[in-house]
Amino acid sequence: MKKIATLISAALTASVLAVSAQAAEVTLRFHQFLPLHSAIPGKGIEPWIKKIEAESGGRIEIQHYPSMQLGGSPPSLYGQARDGVVDIIWTVLGYSPGLFPTAEAFELPFMTGNAEQGSVAFQKYMEANGMGDFKEVHPLGFHVHGPGIIHTKGGAVKSLADMQGKKLRGPTRVITGMLKELGATPVGMPVPAVPESLSKGVIDGAVIPYEVSVPLKVAQLTDGHMGFEGDTGLYTATFGVIMNKAKYDSMPADLRAILDAHSGVEMARAFGKVMDDADKVGLKIARDAGNEVVFLNAEAKATWQAAAQPVIDGWIAEMNGKGLDGAGLVAAARAAIAAEK
């Protein structure tokens, strides 16, 4: 009897495994550029994947490939999703310069601060203004990070004079343009290249939020960190979770509905909150390391805002030259941000 029971148990287990193996009707490959222990991959993407898989009853399987495991460099991610090399990507939109001009309004100096509010605002702004830039793909969601911080060797930057000639990494063309306007020597590069560039002296510092400073160990590679008081930071970068259009369209309607239900504003809010929570961790690490942590007050901030205004004016003129309403996009971005405060 015991032998029969064992055989029955084994048969049932094999049956369950066989059904499980056949259950996934759709398998999606999700590719992105940061390690799994980083904030968004570990606390944003992974919970999102588990939710989608659970609500689909296992009919959707999402395979997560962090740190560019499927090849290419971070700037190639959008093309991989567009061309069907992978099914879903998470990327910095500015890694594909020129493709998403509407999104750049949120990258302009001193636009937003809190990542959760800013992400919801960005999602709504993009739904109203920016979807024309994504006709070749299916966007699942957009978000931003928290206040951008200037991390430097040799102590914190405290004035515009301290910026002069410093080689600072910037993530996108708008933000590197801002750094140049503020007196620094900008060096554009994706964020995974920052640690090696700091350790080898290629750059004197980097602008990134506290959130991503944790996996990059920036508090160990620099000793000064500067941000601003108030509800807006120096800058933010914009992000997109983007899906191959043909893959999305090929899915059964009920499975598409599950993706839709957990995309858009829900995704923006969740990912923004992850960024805000991780910023607190990064700030604590910097302080615990004994580094110089500075937040410039409103009076000093006004000086920086005035110095950065030509970046905004130049961007508006550039957009107008492309047939877009540059001033209208800036106004729409500011209105979306104000609506979430």
pLDDT > 80? residue 14:
no
Asked which of 10-19, 98-107, 197-206, 293-302 is least confident by mean pLDDT, the reply is: 10-19
Average pLDDT over residues 293-302: 98
The pair phi, psi for residue 249, each rounded to 5°, is: -65, -25
CA distance linking residue 301 with residue 295, whole number of Å: 9
On the question of pLDDT at 178 being above 70, the answer is yes
Say yes or no to pLDDT of 329 above 50: yes
How large is the average pLDDT for residues 302-331? 98
Q: Does domain 149-235+281-339 have CATH number 3.40.190.170?
A: yes
Residue 23 confidence class, pLDDT cut points 50, 70, 90: confident
Q: Where are the domains of the chain?
A: 149-235+281-339
Q: Are 258 and 57 in contact (CB under 8 A)?
A: no
Instruction: Write down the pLDDT at residue 331.
Output: 98
224-260: pLDDT as tens digits? 999 999 999 999 999 999 999 999 999 999 999 999 9
Q: In the prediction, which pLDDT does 294 show? A: 98
Closest C-alpha to 204, from 146, 148, 157, 147: 157
Structure-token pair, residue 170: 């910037």
pLDDT value at position 116?
A: 98
Flag whether pLDDT at 8 surpasses 60.
Answer: no
Predicted pLDDT of residue 22: 53
**What is the arithmetic mean of pLDDT over 284-309?**
98
pLDDT tops 70 at residue 20: no
pLDDT, tens digit, 9 for 90 and up, residues 259-284 = 999 999 999 999 999 999 999 999 99
Residue tagged 């500011």 (tokens)? 334
Burial (CB count <10 Å: 0-12, 13-18, 19+), residue 215: buried
Residue 12: pLDDT band (50, 70, 90) is: very low
Quote the CA–CA distance of 245 and 1 in Å, as a whole number.
55
Q: Give the three-class secondary structure for 138.
A: strand
Query: Helices 298-321 and 173-181 meet at what angle, rounded to 10?
Result: 130
Mean pLDDT to the nearest integer, 174-189? 97
Average pLDDT score over residue span 62-67:
98
Q: Is the pLDDT of residue 3 over 60?
A: no
CA 90 vs CA 22, 42, 156: distances in Å: 28, 13, 31
The rounded distance, in Å, linking the Cα atoms of 121 and 88 is 23
Q: What is the pLDDT of residue 21?
A: 44
Say if residue 16's pLDDT is above 80.
no
At 131-157, the pLDDT tens digits run 999 999 999 999 999 999 999 999 999
- Report pLDDT for 10: 43
Which pLDDT band, with edges at 50, 70 and 90, does 161 fall under?
very high
- CA–CA separation, 95 vs 304, rounded Å? 25
